[in-house]
């Protein structure tokens, strides 16, 4: 949560050195991230409860994170149980895209409250960031996808 508005564009010397070294491998890194994203999409495409990220034709995505969204039948509590279940199985997952209007600074400064932007809140309450880095293997991606599928199935089964 953010208590005040501000910017921090400072970069440490070590971060600058790492950034320069990675610039030499930028194409390789982006290709690897594209491979991971495509593998996730292929593995998760069959899950009717997920909304996957899309990339418009003739564009390139740099893929710094891979976020899926549960369909509108899911609540924040169900999303949180899915994430907790994934973590119990040693699969890192996290909520993503918290609503900016609910950050303390914006609430205090502008008086925003829950319900002011219901669509943003609904989307925020249903997002899950999956493990993502350019060295994820097909096996690891498969494990993440299978675990997510199982956790979603458990949640939908418990509704019946």
Task: Provide the pLDDT for residue 51.
Answer: 98
Please report, for the chain, the start and end positions of each structural domain, with discontinuous segments joined by +.
13-159
Give the pLDDT confidence of 57-116 residue by residue, as tens digits. 999 899 999 999 999 999 999 999 999 999 999 999 999 988 999 999 899 999 999 999
Could you give the CA distance from residue 20 to residue 135 in angstroms, rounded to a whole number? Answer: 19
* Rounded CA separation 95/111 (Å): 24
Q: Collapse the DSSP code of 118 into the 3-class scheme (helix H, G, I; strand E, B; otherwise coil) and give the result.
A: helix
CATH number of 13-159: 3.90.1150.10
Give me the count of residues in the chain: 160
Burial class (CB in 10 A: 0-12, 13-18, 19+), 89: middle
């Amino acid at each position: 949560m953010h208590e005040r508005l501000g910017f921090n564009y400072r970069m440490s010397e070590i971060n600058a050195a790492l950034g320069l070294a990675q610039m030499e491998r930028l194409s390789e890194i982006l290709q690897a991230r594209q491979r991971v994203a495509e593998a996730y999409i292929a593995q998760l495409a069959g899950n009717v409860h997920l909304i996957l990220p899309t990339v418009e034709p003739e564009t390139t995505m740099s893929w710094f994170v891979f976020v899926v969204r549960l369909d509108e039948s899911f609540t924040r509590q169900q999303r949180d149980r899915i994430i907790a279940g994934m973590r119990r199985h040693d699969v890192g997952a996290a909520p993503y895209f918290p609503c900016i209007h609910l950050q303390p600074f914006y609430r205090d400064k502008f008086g925003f409250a829950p319900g002011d932007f219901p669509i943003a809140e609904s989307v925020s309450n249903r997002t899950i960031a999956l493990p993502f880095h350019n060295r994820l293997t097909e096996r690891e991606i498969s494990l993440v996808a299978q675990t997510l599928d199982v956790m979603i199935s458990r949640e939908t089964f418990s509704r019946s």
